Structures are given as C-alpha cells and as structure tokens.
Amino acid sequence: MKKNIINLVLFYLIIINIGCDPNFNNQETPEPVNNTIKILFIGNSLTYSNNMPKIFEELSLNSGKEVYVDQITPGGVSLGFHSTNVETINKINEQKWDYVILQSSDISAFFDLYDHEIRIINKLKNHIKKNNNETKIIYMMVSGLRDGWTGRELNGEIVHYTYKQYMKMIYDGTIYIANQCDVIISPIGIAWEKVIDEKSEMKIKLFDTDGAHPALYGSYIVACTYFSTFFSEELNNTIQSIDIPDNIQNFFQFIVNSVVLNNLELWNNVN
C-alpha cells in the first residue's frame, strides 16, 4: 500500500506541474514599509494558479489591511523540496515574516505518510522560527481532487474514494499533522466542500480542467480563506474587480466566514 501511495503522490505532483510558469518566482516584489503585515507563501502551482497571492493582497488592501505579500512557489515541488532548497531558506530569512504559509499536496490523506510530512514541516518550522520566533505558521488544508482518488492495493484490488471520502481523509490527516506540529490550519478544503454542499453546480467551477488545480473561483475561495485565517475577521461585501459576479463573491465570503470563524479552536487559531 505504501509503495502505491508514494507512486500516486508523485503522480499528483506531476499533474500539478502541468501549465506551470518556471519564471514565476523571478518576479521582483517591492520592499515592505514599516508596520506592514508581511506574508510569505511557500508552495507550488496550487498556490500561484490564477495569481492567487495577488487576489489575496487586493482583498486585504480593499479591507483596510496593509500587507506585503511574497511567494516562493515553483511548479510541481513538494514541501520536502522546500525544506532543503537554498532559495526557499534565503526567502524565509529575507524578512521578519508575520505569517508563513506551508502549502503541501494531498499527502495528508495517507496515514502512512503522516510522519514524513511532520518531519518536513518541523524542519521548515525550525528555519522559520530561527529567523523570527514570532512568525505564525499556517498549514494549508488542500482541496482534494474533483473526481476523487483511485489506487491499487497490494492484493491487486482497485480502490476508489469519492471526492467526499477523499476530503474526509485529507481533513483527518491535516488535523493530526497540524496538531503534532503545533501550526495553524487554513481550512481551504473544507471551505470548498461547503460551497459544493450548498451549490453542487459550483464543483466544476472550482476545479480547473485537470481536476486538481483551482480555477479562478477556487483561487478566490483560497484567498478569502487565508484572509479570515490571518485576521480572524469577516469579509463583508468586499467586492473585487475580478471575473466573478458580485453575488458569487458575497456567497463565497459568507461560506468562508462560517467555516473559519466558527471553528477557530479546531484550526488551532486562538491567541
């Protein structure tokens, strides 16, 4: 089972590498001004798809938050890669970050890989805390796969987990891993699932055509969830000039407010 799981996680990383821009992280970011909230995203194309960090930045600015947002998100890489990557370590040491986001893959769905993920997160955590012990570390709960997950057991049996079943695996794993590492959870996967529960027709609009990456609607929910996670406050009618109808933006904000703010203790997000 473990060998099959590892192979399929590697396959997932190949999938999320499709369409990646290798020069994306070469873009220059202006230096922050004093009293600005400094935020660093560490991940891959699941984070930078649709320029999500920019969507988040604009949401924050429109809500009166002065933020400085940077990222290191080369396509198709894992947190394991980041934990030993010189460019990532240098980026961590570049600022006294208020928040650092660790975006993994769906490795959290597989209990045989929990310990591996915990070791990697703790390694990155050590780098982050050595740079600034006050930095809050956020672990992203990923949004799963549109069509669920299919794999082969060692006995040859093919197993399939539906989207809902797979999200439950990701949920359980994310909670366990975050508790072991003492990091905050940004419950993006649950926000997506709640949106789909309320409006099933949204499922196809949240995922890109590969069934793994977020489409624009999905990236907008990601940005909203990070906002509520960082600031522990509601987004209310914060409308952006983006290709999403105003009523849909308001609907997404309503769902995110409920998922994040009604469960702060569950997400380890208490002061």
pLDDT tens for each residue of 242-254: 999 999 999 999 9
Q: Residue 225 — very low, low, confident or very high, per pLDDT cuts 50/70/90?
A: very high
Residue 180 burial class via C-beta count within 10 angstroms: exposed 0-12, middle 13-18, buried 19 and up: middle
Q: Where are the domains of the chain?
A: 2-261
pLDDT of residue 31: 63
**Choice between 62 and 17, residue whose per-residue pLDDT is larger:** 62
pLDDT tens for each residue of 91-145: 999 999 999 999 998 999 999 999 999 999 999 999 999 999 999 999 999 999 9
Strand partners, 41: 71, 101
Rounded Cα distance, 145 and 167, in Å: 8
pTM of the model: 0.88
Pairing of β 149-152 and β 158-161? antiparallel
Q: Is the pLDDT of residue 146 over 70?
A: yes
> Which CATH superfamily groups domain 2-261?
SGNH hydrolase (3.40.50.1110)
